[in-house]
Amino acid sequence: MTEREKELEEYKDTRLKYFGLFKSLIESENECQLDKWGIQERTLPEWLMYATEEFGELSEAISEYIYRDGMPRAIIEEAIQVVTLCLKIADMIMENANMEKPEGYTKTHFPIGKLKAWLREEARKYFFLTDINIFIEVLDKIAEIEKEG
Ligand SMILES: [Mg+2]
């Protein structure tokens, strides 16, 4: 395939066919980032800056693939790094946003494992938690789990 053909090649949405695989790659990338940087505490603009830096590396990997026979694997690796950082932002907002907590909610007694299992199921449907309805559903689910004990 020529450079120009690669440049013009169209990719049809595969509807997250490999999400199961990517989920484990995201978890591994999270562990790698924690090993490398520890648990960081940064401002939202700083987190966004790190994610944007990874977007730049994703662009570079795509450019390398098209113009310099770069490996497609590098595109996947950089995309996973972008996704991991973006999900961390969503995760921190989930944890820290000033949302009304259901009655009886306490951080220390909350069965977070149950919520995580439920979130994992929901994430398959939503992938990115950008829809505000998911936050409302999370709050409803927290209340439901609290009732069950
Ligand atoms: Mg990178």
- Looking at per-residue confidence, does 23 or 144 come out higher? 23
Shared-domain flag, residues 92 and 113: no
Domain endpoint, select from 73, 96, 119: 96
Question: What is the C-alpha separation between 101 and 107, in angstroms, rounded?
Answer: 10
Q: 129: CA distance to ligand 1 center in Å?
A: 22
- Looking at per-residue confidence, does 117 or 81 come out higher? 81
What is the predicted pLDDT for the residue at 145?
80
For the cut 90, the answer to whether the pLDDT of residue 147 exceeds it is: no
Shared-domain flag, residues 36 and 79: yes
Q: 79: CA distance to ligand 1 center in Å?
A: 8
- Structural domain of 114: 99-149
Per-residue model confidence as pLDDT tens digits over 1-36: 899 999 999 999 999 999 999 999 999 999 999 999
What is the predicted pLDDT for the residue at 97?
82
Domain endpoint, select from 75, 96, 117: 96
The confidence band for 148, taking pLDDT boundaries of 50, 70 and 90, is confident
DSSP class per residue in 22-85? HHHHHHHHHHHHHHHH-S----HHHHHHHHHHHHHHHHHHHHHHHHS---HHHHHHHHHHHHHH
Q: 114: CA distance to ligand 1 center in Å?
A: 32
Per-residue model confidence as pLDDT tens digits over 45-65: 999 999 999 999 999 999 999
Q: 44: CA distance to ligand 1 center in Å?
A: 19
Q: 57: CA distance to ligand 1 center in Å?
A: 5
Shared-domain flag, residues 57 and 84: yes
- Tell me the two tokens of residue 27: 């978890």
Question: What is the C-alpha separation between 89 and 92, in angstroms, rounded?
Answer: 5
What is the predicted pLDDT for the residue at 141?
79
Per-residue model confidence as pLDDT tens digits over 85-135: 999 999 999 888 865 555 555 554 556 666 766 776 776 666 555 565 666
Shared-domain flag, residues 61 and 106: no
Ligand 1 ion: residues within 5 Å (CB): 54, 57, 78, 81
Shared-domain flag, residues 86 and 104: no
Shared-domain flag, residues 80 and 29: yes
What is the predicted pLDDT for the residue at 149?
63
Shared-domain flag, residues 28 and 78: yes
